[in-house]
Structure 1
Amino acid sequence: MPIKYALTALCFSLLPLGAVAQTVPETRDQMALSFAPLVQQVAPAVVNIYAKRVVEGRESPFAGDPFFEQFAQSFGKPTQRVQNSLGSGVILAADGLVMSNYHVVGGATDISVVLSDRREFAATVILADEESDLALLRVESSGTLPYLPLRATDSVEVGELVLAIGNPFGVGQTVSSGIVSGLARSSVSLGRGYFIQTDAPVNPGNSGGALVDMAGRLIGINSAIITKSGGSNGVGFAIPSDLVAQVMAQAAAGNDHFIRPWAGVSGQTVDAQMAEALGMDRPSGIVLDELHPQSPFGQAGLVPGDVITGLDGAEVNSPQEIMFRLSVMGVGKRVKVAYVSGGQAHETEVTLIAAPQAENQVVLSVVDGGLAGLSVAMIDPALISKLGLPLSAQGVVITAVEGPLARAGMIAGDIVLGINGAEIKTPDDVRAVAATGARGWAMDILRAGQLIRLRFRL
């Protein structure tokens, strides 16, 4: 089933659930109550976003051909075209901080933010993170803007009434209602994220818009839908407010990119059969398959086969949930880890760190010859995290590739094993082979555990 993005000093706070009393409508009179006062309160803080980006392409004589187009992607005259995107955003600080989705504004060269009262401002991205699909913008406004407070994610419960506000289909700001239909949602189709699920209709153009509770507090940034038809099927997903708060905190600290803690572990969700084998009374947690030698969890005493069941008192039941919990805590925090080892419950503490970078790490970029456009480096934890490599990965990895080599099939994250029969163990080996000036090339690479040989002539 395809996933579709719903395209077309710092002031923020996390408010506990108990701050405002909430009741579920039970009588016909209660159900007749209007959402209008709430909409009037929150709608001014939800904006429409118009972004433009320049996209590289090629003029192919086979463009549009259902068969030959797939074989002619590297041919034709290089071209540039302007791509427009339409989405939504939420003002989160009176001085003009706006949160939206990365897929709405990522790579944009021109961004306009339009308020509900039709005022329009230029905006710039001050911190963006593709993995979390969040982007923080600052609008060029000299006045005070309306904004929404954030509500702590752990206080949100399934069944709560919510409103989704955005700009679906580019028709202007609209509001839809529903409930929180699920928490801690993650799947292969949703990527590496961790989401709040809602049945409030979320359609193309709602991306970056607000999911708010009945007290007018932001609980999530609308991000994606799962659909067969292209429209809303009542399965929408929002990025939790706790992650939004961490992005804002890092921007306030002066970061120009989002830094998430590195666990250095891999594992899988414990099912009933695993729980029985591990001596657990019920399925819960993540059983560890592998730990990197530099993993802070490994240094705290955990080993393969141990089961992580909680972080700072919160249960974790999927790898995505662990990464979400670590991301919202931030680098430098000391966290309590509950785990099961040998059928016995234990607790330890782990200091969260960023993925370590090797000392004297150098990225080699080939600028001329047959391998021009290729950049490589020795694998370290930082590159393992950035490129999504296995924890056991070693050797030389491609960090970037462009030009003819990219069209030949190489991608960032490929591990280079050999070139033209020469074994590659260091970036200097790549430099030496590139200097031979060969015209024909045979590269042995490892991609997602599969050995691939690329042959091409330049």
Structure 2
Amino acid sequence: MRLASLLAALALILPAPLLSQAVPETRAEISLSFAPVVREAAPGVVSIYASRVVEARPNPFFDDPLFGQLFGDFGRSVPRVQNALGSGVIVSPDGIVVSNYHVVGGASDIRVVLGDRREFAADLILSDAESDLAVLRLRGAEGLPALPLADSDQLQVGDLVLAIGNPFGVGQTVSSGIVSALARSGIAVGSGRGYFIQTDAAINPGNSGGALIDLAGRLVGINTAILTRTGGSHGIGFAIPSNLVAQVVAQAREGNARFVRPWAGISGQAVDAALAEAFGLSLPQGVVITDLHPLSPLAAAGLQTGDVVLSIDGEPVNSAPEMMFRLSARGIGGEARLDTLRGDTRSSATIALIAPPEEPARARLEVRAPALRGLVAENINPAVIAEFNLAPGASGVIVAGAEDIARRAGLRPGDILLAVNRMPVHSTADLERALRDAGRNWEVEIVRDGRRSWLRFRL
């Protein structure tokens, strides 16, 4: 009776076409349930138990030839096993699972438990700390339930989504919410740096690596982190878009152990209100190129420093991380169309999506001479720039590894070598010649985190 009265009242208010489309007429239509979606998607979400051996950093005096004898073994760190709990998503029936790098990265033992309680040992076949993604292969798995991937570029703010994972280890849990925001790229969450989907679906510790799905049961993102002051969900969670996940999985299937992004060879700055006024833009939009490598595909397409990149394949870009996401989600080997602005002129350019070139050759040098023994050095090229996240204009020689005397001298991976005992170092060949000196007093000039400094030591 109440339902009939409600329909009669609505009939007086709403137009007939809208009434026939929007007003439920049965109890089944009034009831709303996500159960059919969850029933299809939940078996494709797994729990992950990972363990790794960690060792606290030892006291630096232990490596000193004098103080090391005084300390002996007293107070040395003892290796211990660290356990991690997270979630993962089956993306292929033959046992390919995607999770977060911060869940399984560096793990020595990985165990995956399916919703039907089957357990599999897993091997880490690709890891990428920058995107906070990792790809696993389950040993002996076949015919597993897999989630299809949606086009994350089709998401809109307000779309209903479900988060599935294993929070706090209580067991598989489903929470609902909406897409709260897109293109969250000015923040760093978890291990990842880049571009995220924001959702208010409850995400808690243990949900990391789990699925964010749409109402068609398709994967739209991999849950990665939350912003919280208490450790629990405050309704601000972040997920890695499925379009990037698809490229990471594709490279894992090709045998890559590390995710290789298309190389842009630029540094960029988001256009703010002041820059928009200077460029004559009605709204702040795009990324202005502040530095450009000579071998960059953007340079080959005719772009210059000072140009503004407005969109990639029609998708707007409003920050450097968003621009890199757009390129990464398209993968290596194709092309992308960039809409650009130079002065008052808008134009478009097509760039090749290439891996960072190994030019010049790295010419890897492993130092065995008494001075800086344990140093591993390489010539800087675009591939090294991408690997160590250097400025596009970086050149010279980089520290790729530092052990033994090199570490005790204060060198760290990522340092750029400028000179050894006042002798300029432009290549690993220059470094090798400089280290032939038989002196006992040494001075190494380096750049670390953009700052020039000097390391002095005596053999």
**Given the two structures, how large is their TM-score scaled by the length of structure 2?**
0.86
Contact 2:188 2:194 in 1 (8 A): no
Residue number in structure 2 paired with 1:258 = 259
Q: Which runs of 4+ in 1 moved over 4 A?
A: 23-32, 58-62, 437-440
SS at match of 1:201: coil
> In structure 2, what residue type is equivalent to 1:137?
L
Residue number in structure 2 paired with 1:154 = 153
Contact 2:360 2:379 in 1 (8 A): no
Q: Call closer, same or farther: CA 1:229–1:407 in 2, change over 3 Å.
A: farther
Residue number in structure 2 paired with 1:124 = 123
SS at match of 1:247: helix
SS at match of 1:207: coil
Residue number in structure 1 paired with 2:65 = none
Residue number in structure 2 paired with 1:305 = 306
Task: Return 437-446 or 221-230, whichever deviates more.
Answer: 437-446
Residue number in structure 2 paired with 1:322 = 323
1:368, distance to aligned residue in structure 2 (A): 4.8
Take 2:33 and 2:48, find their aligned partners in 1: how far apart are those partners?
28
1:94-137, CA deviations, whole angstroms, 9 ceiling, x for partnerless residues? 11111111111111111100011211101111222221111111
Q: Call closer, same or farther: CA 1:230–1:435 in 2, change over 3 Å.
A: farther
Contact 1:339 1:345 in 2 (8 A): yes
Residue number in structure 2 paired with 1:172 = 171
SS at match of 2:202: coil
Take 1:30 and 1:448, find their aligned partners in 2: how far apart are those partners?
60
1:46, distance to aligned residue in structure 2 (A): 0.6
1:359, distance to aligned residue in structure 2 (A): 4.0
Residue number in structure 2 paired with 1:355 = 356
Take 1:346 and 1:87, find their aligned partners in 2: how far apart are those partners?
46
1:298, distance to aligned residue in structure 2 (A): 1.1
Larger radius of gyration: 2
What is the percentage of aligned positions where both structures have the same residue? Answer: 54
1:273, distance to aligned residue in structure 2 (A): 1.9
Residue number in structure 1 paired with 2:97 = 98
1:216, distance to aligned residue in structure 2 (A): 0.9
Task: Return 259-268 or 37-46, whichever deviates more.
Answer: 37-46
Unaligned ranges ≥5, structure 1 = 1-22, 63-71
Is 1:333 the counterpart of 2:334? The answer is: yes
> In structure 1, what residue type is equivalent to 2:161?
V
> In structure 2, what residue type is equivalent to 1:297?
L
1:399-424, CA deviations, whole angstroms, 9 ceiling, x for partnerless residues? 12234533554222211112333332
SS at match of 2:144: coil
Q: Call closer, same or farther: CA 1:167–1:279 in 2, change over 3 Å.
A: same
Task: Return 361-370 or 269-278, whichever deviates more.
Answer: 361-370
Is 1:231 the counterpart of 2:232? The answer is: yes
Residue number in structure 2 paired with 1:454 = 455
Structure number with the higher helix fraction is 2
Q: Call closer, same or farther: CA 1:313–1:455 in 2, change over 3 Å.
A: same
Take 1:38 and 1:24, find their aligned partners in 2: how far apart are those partners?
22
Take 1:387 and 1:25, find their aligned partners in 2: how far apart are those partners?
58
Residue number in structure 2 paired with 1:290 = 291
Take 2:101 and 2:173, find their aligned partners in 1: how far apart are those partners?
21
Residue number in structure 2 paired with 1:343 = 344
Contact 1:54 1:80 in 2 (8 A): yes
SS at match of 1:41: helix
Q: Call closer, same or farther: CA 1:375–1:61 in 2, change over 3 Å.
A: closer
Task: Return 274-283 or 186-195, whichever deviates more.
Answer: 186-195
Residue number in structure 2 paired with 1:36 = 35
Q: Call closer, same or farther: CA 1:58–1:294 in 2, change over 3 Å.
A: closer
1:398, distance to aligned residue in structure 2 (A): 0.9
Is 1:244 the counterpart of 2:245? The answer is: yes
Contact 1:111 1:123 in 2 (8 A): yes
Take 1:304 and 1:404, find their aligned partners in 2: how far apart are those partners?
42
Contact 1:369 1:435 in 2 (8 A): no
Q: Call closer, same or farther: CA 1:79–1:433 in 2, change over 3 Å.
A: farther
Take 1:60 and 1:291, find their aligned partners in 2: how far apart are those partners?
42
> In structure 2, what residue type is equivalent to 1:128?
S
1:332-354, CA deviations, whole angstroms, 9 ceiling, x for partnerless residues? 21211110111111012111111
Q: Call closer, same or farther: CA 1:189–1:142 in 2, change over 3 Å.
A: closer
Q: Call closer, same or farther: CA 1:368–1:254 in 2, change over 3 Å.
A: same
Task: Return 181-190 or 400-409, whichever deviates more.
Answer: 400-409
1:21-56, CA deviations, whole angstroms, 9 ceiling, x for partnerless residues? xx9999999785232332222111110111112223
**Given the two structures, how large is their TM-score scaled by the length of structure 1?**
0.86
SS at match of 1:331: coil
Take 1:202 and 1:288, find their aligned partners in 2: how far apart are those partners?
36
Is 1:222 the counterpart of 2:223? The answer is: yes
Take 1:31 and 1:211, find their aligned partners in 2: how far apart are those partners?
26
Contact 1:58 1:76 in 2 (8 A): no
Take 2:24 and 2:399, find their aligned partners in 1: how far apart are those partners?
60
Residue number in structure 2 paired with 1:20 = none
Residue number in structure 2 paired with 1:11 = none
Is 1:279 the counterpart of 2:280? The answer is: yes
Is 1:375 the counterpart of 2:349? The answer is: no
Q: Call closer, same or farther: CA 1:155–1:61 in 2, change over 3 Å.
A: closer
SS at match of 1:150: coil
1:264-309, CA deviations, whole angstroms, 9 ceiling, x for partnerless residues? 1111111222112112232211111111111111111111111111
Residue number in structure 1 paired with 2:54 = 55
Residue number in structure 1 paired with 2:204 = 203
Contact 2:205 2:232 in 1 (8 A): yes
Residue number in structure 1 paired with 2:399 = 398
Q: Call closer, same or farther: CA 1:359–1:189 in 2, change over 3 Å.
A: closer
Contact 1:225 1:236 in 2 (8 A): yes
Take 2:22 and 2:100, find their aligned partners in 1: how far apart are those partners?
31
> In structure 2, what residue type is equivalent to 1:118?
R
Is 1:425 the counterpart of 2:426? The answer is: yes
Take 2:350 and 2:141, find their aligned partners in 1: how far apart are those partners?
46
Take 1:221 and 1:24, find their aligned partners in 2: how far apart are those partners?
33
1:238, distance to aligned residue in structure 2 (A): 0.5
Contact 2:194 2:321 in 1 (8 A): yes
Greater RCO between the two (CA within 8 Å, min separation 6)?
Answer: 1
* Equivalenced residues, count: 426
Contact 2:361 2:381 in 1 (8 A): no
Take 1:429 and 1:162, find their aligned partners in 2: how far apart are those partners?
57
Residue number in structure 1 paired with 2:180 = 181
Contact 1:59 1:79 in 2 (8 A): no
Take 2:352 and 2:94, find their aligned partners in 1: how far apart are those partners?
34
Residue number in structure 2 paired with 1:46 = 45
